[in-house]
Amino acid sequence: MGRQPLWRRVGFLPQITYFKPTGVPLANLEEERISVEEAEAIRLKDLEELELEDCARRMNISRTTFSRILNSARKKIADALLSGKAIRIEGGNFKMAIRRFRCINGHEWDVSFEAMIKESPRFCLTCSTQRIVPLWPYGLRWGKSEKSRHSRLRQKE
């Protein structure tokens, strides 16, 4: 049995997570699933045009692992574009580079990826209450609400 993969650091979650060819009903489409860390690899290398070493450092992984993730993402995107498949960005093995927290009294603060690996915060830095919750970045909700939204889209087509 292989070892558990390390968490990959991700600095951005896309607001749009589903792409499909125009004019083709969802029921007739195959999908390519791209993980969040694959999308991050594409963003860092192809959009930000960073060097391979810098990309790997930002994601907290080795250069060879980064190359493997990037190649996988590029292959899936090419297959989807050339074969007329939909692309869904979801899942993976990642942690946000910065995580935002809020306490019951409304105080908010950010915790870095490195600090989160060591230990999650247990109390508010301002008022010391233990009633805190992590906030999803960019107002996204991944899970049931996202899946049900895609289910509604499928029913409309």
The per-residue pLDDT for range 1-49, each reduced to its tens digit, is 677 667 788 888 888 999 999 999 988 999 999 999 999 999 999 999 9
Residue type, 79: D
Residue type, 23: G
Per domain, the residue ranges of the chain are: 8-156
Alpha-carbon torsion, ordered 58, 122, 4, 54, to 10 deg = 0
The pTM of this model reads 0.67
Segment 93-130, tens digit of pLDDT: 887 777 788 999 999 988 886 777 678 888 998 999 99
